[in-house]
Amino acid sequence: MGRAGTVMDDLLNDFLAETAEILAEAGGALVAWEADPADRAQLDAIFRLVHTIKGSSGFLSLPRVTALSHGAEDALDQVRRGNRTADGALVTGVLGIIDRLSQLCDTLGQKGVEPAGDDSDVITALATRDEAADAPAEASDIQLRREDDLTTELQGWRSIRVPLPLLDSVMTGVTDIVLARNEFARMLRESGANPSLIASFDRLSDSIAGMRQSVSQMRMQRIDKLFAPLPRVVRDLARDLGKKVRFATSGGEVELDREMMENIRDPLIHIVRNAIDHGIETLDERVLAGKDITATIQVSARQSGNQIEIEVRDDGRGLSPDALVAKAMASRILGAADARALTPREKLELIFRPGFSTAAKITSISGRGVGMDIVKANVEKIGGIVELRNEEGRGLSILLRVPMTLTIISGLMVRAAGQYFAIPRGAVREILLETSDSVRIERLGGGEIATVRGEQFPLLRLETILGRARDHRDDVEDRALVLVRPGQGQSYALSVAAIHDHEELVIKPAAPMIMATGLYAGTTLPDNGRPVLLLDVQGILAAAAIDASEAGRQMDQAVEAEAAAAAERNAAQLLLFRDINGRTRGVRLSVIERVEEVPALALFESAGQVQVQIGDDIFPVHAAKLPENHGTLKLLRLHDGQSVLCYPIDAVIDIVRLPDLVQPAAAPGLIAGVLLVNGEPVELIDPFWLMEQYAGGAVVSAQHQPICRIADDHDGWGDNFLAPILRNAGYRVVAESSDEAPDVLLCLTDEGGACAHLGGDVPVIRLRASVAAASPDDDTVYRYDRGALLEALRRRVGGARA
Amino acid sequence: MMDKLYLVARIADTRVALRSRSINSVVTVGTPIEVPAAPPHVAGLFALRSRVFTLIDPHVVVGLSSVPVAPGQRVVVVDVAEHGYALLADEIEDVCFIDAPETRVTGKLLPGWARVAEAMIEHEGHSLLVVDPSHFITLPAARAA
């Protein structure tokens, strides 16, 4: 290869690196855009990304890449011009092109030439809809520049790519310079050098400080980049598994060292996949558990001192410690004796054991033998730790805490137990002497509280946390309080034996077993050449197990969150389901008591009515005939506060907000009307009508049944003829001798007004044997007039007890 | 040739042979600083040419009680998973070529030693355990005490 070849290789490598980044970004942007097709800015951004690939590929003459990117660009342009609407098919099509481009670039990276092949499948899949609107362009005749080129990507030309090893060597060089400067500063102080020498050294020192700042920035990148591929991962996996997942990220502006980022990319993706595959329940399970059918996965990043916390939180089923133990024993990585000795925390941490996989069966998605043990090892390799916060049944949070950088931070040196420790300066709010007038220290129930100018802080003594005795040489007068703010909304007072000074510290991760104590964030070498441990201000909080939240503000947030949650709950929601006839129907969520899954054999037919036995209860089922299959059947259990009706369905689809616009049905019936959900018509079930159909036969639970007592039943007519009708109508009939207080009294005497049992407030209905009323103001009821009798009962007792 | 190069040293009161390719260097340690709350086999930290090393006390790893670090004591520096560690050695004897083949460990070793020893080798009329220094970094998972 000649010189030209080398230049070409460089260009190709640049193109591949750039394209890989663009493809990752475009995938995430597309998924976001799919969720909100009205977001014009997002569409423009995707268009520009695809357009950039096309431009560069044309320059390098990569016809397949050019044709593919042109296909995507063209479809997106149609949307931009309003000739085509954005829908799921379009997004899937563009994602298909992006996948093909990724494959091509991989091959290109390995072989150096574009492989031969045909991409018309993915391109036509995308182009099907706009053939009429716009004749498809020939691959050979693709315009490489559009008129709006000049305005886009001008910024792109103002950056260059630097190989990471070069950046690393610059970094190491600067680190050594800083160490040498520190050493030199110490020697200057000790030698009592003259002021002009010190002044010129200070100038040097300042420019070194400026340089190290720039170098650390060179290596920093917004954590957005790390999050970019996640929306796509979530979308695809959730689709494959038939789950609904809302994915959100926050804290994307946090900056992290590039190298750190490389090291946590795979663990992060693995954790998110695990959350969807194992953590999030199926739709039915979520409905049964009373959860929002759309699960939430939240990935958030925040800076805490010189560490970055990345949290992946899901609202799925969480981890079950006992299930984990059973699983570990079944896979023979834990003996029965060891299992008994485990603390709850250790049980959870079983998932980090090699060879452990939480799925009951290995799935194609996450059970590939790459487990949480690899995740943990990768994070620890860069001096980070993995924490689990489990709420069984409610969700799991996995927290990755990694050092922000391997570079230099400003640190406060403190002494405790005769040894120096460093605290990241960024986390220090204030430093006070314990003897200061503005500090009051009190012992309260075994703990200590420091009150500083009226504000209270939990007080931790560094020696206690480290498990060391105080050094006898320490002077009590020197003891100081460092007010530490480890993260947003948290603060505490750390009591140390003495404050030493501030220094610029080069932080390196400590060995895994030291990081595992949770007390240290790394090691550093100050100018005296003796290593110093950097304290992990957040980990100390965890080790001390105190609540350091700054209460007031936290309270406000809690109230707001509660209000928002309440508003969400109040909004009418619609349960979408697929009916057994295959139609998509919806019913107000609030009328559904639960979703039952019963064997088909639990259904039986009686008196022309399909019924189901669930437990000890029998409920009517809205079905014309018994189901033919013998598997299981899903039933929506509708409850109107009094009676239950089961409605057989095929599957639960989703829970959505009930749209305001409903097209009402012409006549009352099962379908109250039709509404549009996500552009699809959905039939809205009328629960009122449904209940009305079955109200007569509905079984009312015993405690809601009004009690009827039949009085003066001398010939047994009441017991033999009347009682069955009353029971059928949902009343409970008690014997005349019963002590139970009745809700209504039925008098079977013809002696006008002379019911011997008139007593207290109990309403009385008198029945007469003759058809005709004795007088116009006769309030008795003819005993065979069923309708009038039931009506009278309803009037007296209101149908049922509240 | 390198395969046959061994460091012969006394570690945790036992003469052992360490394969030279598993070792970074042998250095003298100054006064280490302690790491409060660390596992018992971590004897402290010390700095060497702007790198910080974690000092490991092999006595604890094989189940003996810990031995204080003497100033000027020699340590065997090893790199495991991109971290630098130093094993405290009671005595560094020699670096030499040993032509004899490594043989399977015969006889029953104490559990602590059984975990770290990989083979045995004959050297100048004595049998030495061939140990892998990286095994000293972690304590056995099932804690004996």
Sign of CA dihedral A415, A417, A420, A424: negative
Of B33, B82, B85, the CB nearest to A531: B33
The pLDDT value recorded for residue A756 is: 53
User: Token pair for residue A101?
Assistant: 């481009």
Distance CA A277, CA A236 (A): 12
A531 and B CB contact within 8 Å: yes
Q: Which of B31, B34, B42, B45 to mutate to test the interface with A (most CBs of A within 10 A)?
A: B45
Residue in A625, A602, A606 with CA at minimum distance from that of residue A615 = A602
Which residues of chain A are modeled with pLDDT < 50?
A: 1-4, 130-156, 359-369, 552-557, 697-700, 799-802
Q: Taking Cα atoms as reference points, which of A91, A365, A394, A73 lies closest to residue A240?
A: A365
B50, A176: Cβ pair inside 8 Å?
yes
The pLDDT of residue A617: 81
- Chain B neighbors of A516, CB-CB under 8 A: 39
Round to whole Å and give the CA distance between A623 and A646. 9
Nearest to residue B43, comparing CAs of B10, B75, B83?
B75
For residues B87 and B136, what is the distance between their CA atoms, to the nearest angstrom? 8
Instruction: Please give the structure tokens belonging to residue A36.
Output: 């909100």
- Model ipTM value: 0.85
CB contact under 8 A, A338 and B142: yes
pLDDT in the model for residue B144: 38
Nearest Cβ partner of B82 from A179, A381, A524?
A381
Six token digits for residue A48 = 């520009």
The predicted structure's pLDDT at residue A553: 33
Question: Among A227, A773, A182, which residue's Cα sits nearest to residue A501?
Answer: A182
Residues in chain B: 145
In this prediction, residue B145 has a pLDDT band, given cuts at 50, 70 and 90, of: very low
Mean pLDDT of B98-102: 82
User: Is B50 at the interface with chain A, CB within 8 A?
Assistant: yes
CA A795 and chain centroid, separation: 52
pLDDT of residue A297: 92
Using CA coordinates, name the residue in chain A closest to B84. Answer: A511
Q: How much is the pLDDT for A370?
A: 56
